[in-house]
Structure 1
Amino acid sequence: MDSVKIKEKGFASKIGFIFAAAGSAIGLGNIWRFPWQVSKYGGGAFVLVYLLMVLFLGATVMIAEIALGRVTRGSVVDAYERGGKGMKWIGLLAVAVPFFITAYYTVIGGWSTKYTLNYIFEANFAAAGAGDYFGNFITSSYFAPIMSLVFMVITIYIVAKGVDKGIEKASKFLLPTLFIMLLFLAIYALALPTKPGAQGAGAGVKYYIGSFDFKALGWNGVVAAMSQSFFSLSLGMGIMVAYGSYTGKKMDLGKSALTVVGLDTFFALVSGLIIFPTIFAIDPTLVSDASGPGLIFIVLPTLFAQMPGGQFFGFLFFLLVAFAALTSLISLLEVVSQYTIKRLNWNRKKATWVFGLILGILSMFISLSFSPVSGFMLAGKVDLLTYFDEITNQILMPIVAFGSVLTVGWLIKKSDLYQMFESSQTNISKKKWVQETWYYLTKFIAPILIAIVLIMGIYGSFQANTNPSSDFYEFSITYGVVLIGALIFVVVAALGNIYLDSKKMQDILAKAKAAKGKEGDEDYQYDPLEDVDDEVEEVSTDAENEDN
């Protein structure tokens, strides 16, 4: 008895795709990284450069990755393999990146969930010292890894329900809710009364975006804007490639990508209107700590404990953080699930729950690594969250994105890409100059900018981990171990490419597929060409010389 194929539906609507893609882009970096960079690098000057980089780098690469998924119609690994000969190893890296990001992002999602619950059941938890509470929570409490696993189970449940009934449905609820909470919190923060000795919410706005200081911007600010535009949009993670495989041919990729970019930028900008007015209305001396996890879990709880309505404000803020983490995790887990469905011929529920729980367990070990006595710190110095964050963000993501623009700009036929734009329902994408501009940005400009992001990211990390009092040994175990880890991932991906193409592996998969057929298994076999809508047609690539 032959196995029965069950169609995995793609996005049911354009708005569903936009919400899901925007949900993947909007994350913790918008809240704890972008506002701090704006305030550090010249306020409005940084915003102006950032917007330019979003257009020339962010939107360009996003359209390229969505196009790669839509043109090739396969899992992330299949997309790179079909896009160009010898590119499968990039696809394997594109699956490894979200795998490890999911593992450590879940930890932060668990932290934010715990803090959300704190503001319901333990409102005064930060009164005795938010820093001490946070330190004790992540280093000596087994509740932190449990919360990580709970957060992962919620993510698994949504992704296991499928693209249209799970991811799209959840995104249509979570994203509008995120923006409602965001706007409410911003209005509340701007209206806060000034505490004696503070400067007021207006001073916070001025500190944030009230100046155009190009001297403060400098070259470092330009590179920071370039990096932020890249990392903020979930590029180099395989997410947009996976989502692109679920889109119908009438969707306007350019317009949709620009909408996602606009939503992501709006969220980041408004996040700063929550953070800095709150700090300057309560305690301006804390502004120097206004970045990273310290901002979210130490500075802001300290402020909430001193402000009117702080319990409700804190609850809503950490619910916002948890929702932002969840929308990103949904997209990250989907990349891993999609590849597993295709490669192992598993159904969606099995693939999602098995690998989701593996990631949940891994996230518990990452959470435990913050304890100095856990034995999970690398070389006794680097916690696993920092380790995987450095490897994926500074090294692997730029490599994957470089592979994306290389595949789309140099290996896939230009005519196939242009035909994709011609089939859209809006006239702007059909204009020749629009298509030519995007194509040459993808082919020539984006690779250069991505290379700068990669090189400067590594160089910046060297600077951050080196100081006059440090010897070479101290440096080597703080960042050298990261570079070694990244190299190992690249080598493993290349070897995995060889193994997956081997006759032995192909025979194993063929036997497994035949066994399923004999058992009458109703698990579907992933085929994006059938997954989207009836109007979708396969597009040829240089690797597959088939005409529409």
Structure 2
Amino acid sequence: MEKKTGFTGQLGFVFAAAGSAVGVGNLWRFPYLAAKNGGGVFLLIYLVLVLTVGFVLLTTDLAIGRKTGKSAIYAYESMRKKWKFLGIITFIVPVLIMTYYAVIGGWIVNYIILFLTGKVDIASQSDTFSNFISSPNSVWFSLFFMLLTSFIVYGGVEKGIERVSKFIMPVLLFMVVGIAIYSLTLKATAPNGEIRTGIDGLMVYLKPDFTGMTVGRFLQISLDAMSQLFFSLSVSMGIMITYGSYVRKDVDLSKSVSMIEIMDTGVAFLAGVMIIPPVFVFLGLEGMSAGPGLMFISLPKVFAQMGLGGRIIGFVFFVLAAFAALTSCISVLESIVANYMEILNAQRKRATVVLSIVYLIATGVIALGYSTFYVEVNLPNGTTGQLLDIMDYISNSFMMPFISLLSSILIGWIMTPQWVIDEMERGGKKFSRKRLYAVIIKYFCPVIMFILFLQSTGVFYLLKG
């Protein structure tokens, strides 16, 4: 196998890791979960979880990667031979995610083209999104996105992933801040004569709503926030283990973790500022309840009501979303390529070409899952879904909590937290949150991951029913 390359330094690593973390989950899933779960209540709970559980999971993955110098499968095997199975399970997660991530990227590309060509009226129609994904022609958009991802990963860690991340992440952050500020300046008159402003929408987003709050509802909000962490930080799927294996030994890993936390959480928070105030201004509270359709259905309607400015902002927003999807898609494919190279002792270019062919086929099948290969399956959590939803449920809702549960047991009780702490303090570096890390990885993580895993299996749904 060719000599393993790595990131040139801390900045390149942080941008790449943050690029993996800052994905469509931040721009799409976070805002609608916040709107659904009482605004400020969700934000407070999420922030607490990021600084505790999220910090622990991210630290663990990166430390495992750098200390072992290997990707998921062989990283766990090098720690304890009997735990190689955990590496295999972890490897399966990106394998499944990669089947549909480029599909979502393709959806975003379609909206970029609609806004670029001035077809805002078409983009804003309620049935545009459903008509697009149910058309066999949508597959070409997803295949293009998959090819773009493959091309970047083919270039390697330094010349491909790091170079693209160093360009995309600053631009992405600039665009997020710019649109967020613009959204606060909006104003519109509702049908009942009420004047709605972006600041009013910001208050809806930030103000905690404890109406009807019960222990059960609080638990559900906490579980939603916890599941968002997996999307947001790219933990428990082998990606950060792979990226950690590329990090130089002299990089301050503790500082890097903090920087990734700040960038990822900051973008997620600002995504809410970008999306929720405009939706409130033009669609009212009803628009806030759009759920998963917030990005592809509600937002285009908002942009259409802004006139020419809406066309420009809409175009910029979907370019931003495409950047976020691309950096995440790159990290998922890179994780698979890295494991392939280690397992088969293969060179990067050959591994990338082989896997790209596999995932072009898989992307095509999933993209056609709303038309040619349409199926509808009842999932254990009480929802129904198509091929994309099935892959998403298995990887994100079922496997990731299970992996986090086993990983916390391995590190907390078998390897002991000191194994990770030693890596974080390598070269005399300071790890100020090591006591917090030790307590959470041993006691808190196993409990919350077990609860989250039970939720994913449908236990709570069955009890409720």
- Kindly report which structure 2 residues correspond to 1:391-470, keeping only aligned pairs within 5 A, or say none: 391-412=394-415, 416-424=419-427, 426=429, 428-429=430-431, 434-459=433-458, 462=461
CA distance in 2, matches of 1:418, 1:299: 46
Q: Which moved more, 1:269-278 or 1:196-205?
A: 196-205
Q: Is the partner of 1:307 in helix, strand or coil?
A: coil
In the alignment, the residues of structure 1 paired with residue 8 and residue 416 of structure 2 have an alpha-carbon distance, to the nearest angstrom, of: 28
Give 2:392's match in structure 1, choosing from 386, 389, 395: 389
Alpha-carbon distance, 1:124 to partner: 3.2
Deviation at 1:460, TM superposition (A): 7.6
CA distance in 1, matches of 2:159, 2:107: 28
Where does structure 1 lack aligned partners over 5 or more consecutive residues?
468-548
State whether residues 126 and 301 of structure 1, in contact with CA within 8 Å, keep that contact through their aligned partners in structure 2.
no
- Could you report, residue by residue, the CA deviation over 1:36-81 in whole angstroms, capped at 9, with x for unpaired residues? 2323333323222211111221110110111111122212100011
User: Which residue type is aligned with residue 449 of structure 1?
Assistant: I
Matching of residues 233-272 of structure 1 within 5 Å: 233-272=233-272
Aligned residue type for 1:228: Q
Query: Contact between 1:57 and 1:230, CA under 8 Å: does it hold in 2?
Result: no
Matched AA of 1:15? L
Mapped pair 1:143 → 2:137: yes
> Alignment partner for residue 79 of structure 2, among 69, 76, 83?
83
Moved more, 213-222 or 255-264: 213-222
Q: Which amino acid aligns with 2:235?
A: L
Q: CA deviation at 1:34?
A: 1.7
Q: How far is the alpha carbon of 1:125 from its aligned partner?
A: 4.5
Report Cα offsets for 1:411-463 as digits up to 9, x if no partner: 3365543432332464x32x6xx434323322222122211221223338846
CA distance in structure 2 between the partners assigned to 1:276 and 1:186 by the alignment: 10
CA pair 414-235 structure 1, distance change in 2 beyond 3 A: closer
Q: Report the equivalent of 2:128.
A: 133
RMSD: 2.3
Contact 1:158 1:330 in 2 (8 A): yes
The superposition leaves residues 509-531 of structure 1 with CA deviations (integer Å, 9 ceiling, x where unpaired) of xxxxxxxxxxxxxxxxxxxxxxx
Q: Find runs of 4+ consecutive structure 1 residues off by over 4 angstroms.
A: 378-381, 413-416
Does 2:302 align with 1:310? no
Report the identity percentage: 37
For the Cα contact (< 8 Å) 1:252–1:425, is it kept in 2?
no
- Taking the aligned partners of 2:461 and 2:138, their CA distance within structure 1 comes to 31
CA distance in 1, matches of 2:417, 2:232: 28
Q: Secondary structure at the match of 1:226?
A: helix
Bigger radius of gyration among the two: 1
Query: 3-state DSSP class of the match of 1:321?
Result: helix
Length-normalised TM-score, structure 2: 0.91
Which whole-Å CA distance do the structure 1 matches of 2:418 and 2:277 have between them? 51
Q: Is the 8 A contact 2:71 2:339 kept in 1?
A: yes
Write the distance in 1 (CA, Å) between the matches of 2:85 and 2:227.
Answer: 24
Alpha carbons of 1:418 and 1:270: their partners in 2 closer, same or farther (altered >3 Å)? closer
Residue 423 of structure 1 aligns with an amino acid whose one-letter code is: R
Q: Which residue of 1 aligns with 2:173?
A: 179
Q: Secondary structure at the match of 1:42?
A: coil
Give the corresponding residue for 1:213: 210
Q: How does 1:266-305 map to 2 (within 5 A)?
A: 266-284=266-284, 286-292=286-292, 294-305=293-304
**Could you tell me how far 1:359 is from its partner in structure 2?**
1.0
TM-score computed with the length of structure 1 as normaliser: 0.78
Per-residue CA distance 1:461-510 (angstroms, 9 max, x = gap): 8469x97xxxxxxxxxxxxxxxxxxxxxxxxxxxxxxxxxxxxxxxxxxx
Kept after mapping to 1: 8 A contact 2:239/2:335: yes
Residues 238 and 283 (structure 1), Cα distance of their counterparts in 2 relative to 1, 3 Å cut? same
1:125 and 1:364 map into 2 onto residues whose CA distance is 28
Classify the secondary structure of the residue corresponding to 1:297: coil
Q: Distance in 2 between matches of 1:89 and 1:176?
A: 38
| Deviations 1:1-30 (CA, angstroms, capped at 9, x unpaired) | xxxx64332110101111111111111221
Question: SS of the counterpart of 1:130?
Answer: coil
Q: Which residue of 1 aligns with 2:381?
A: none
399 and 15 in structure 1: CA distance in 2 versus 1, 3 angstrom threshold: same
Q: Partners in 2 of 1:257 and 1:397 — Cα distance?
A: 20
Tell me: CA distance 1:442–1:200, structure 2 relative to 1, closer, same or farther (3 Å).
same
Q: Which whole-Å CA distance do the structure 2 matches of 1:171 and 1:375 have between them? A: 35
Following superposition of structure 1 onto structure 2, how do residues 88-167 of structure 1 map, counting pairs within 5 Å?
A: 88-126=84-122, 130-140=125-135, 142-167=136-161
Paired residues of 1:57 and 1:449 also in contact (CA < 8 A) = no
Distance 1:49 1:407, change over 3 A: same
How far did 1:87 drift? 1.5
Counterpart secondary structure, 2:67: helix
The CA deviation at 1:215 is 5.7
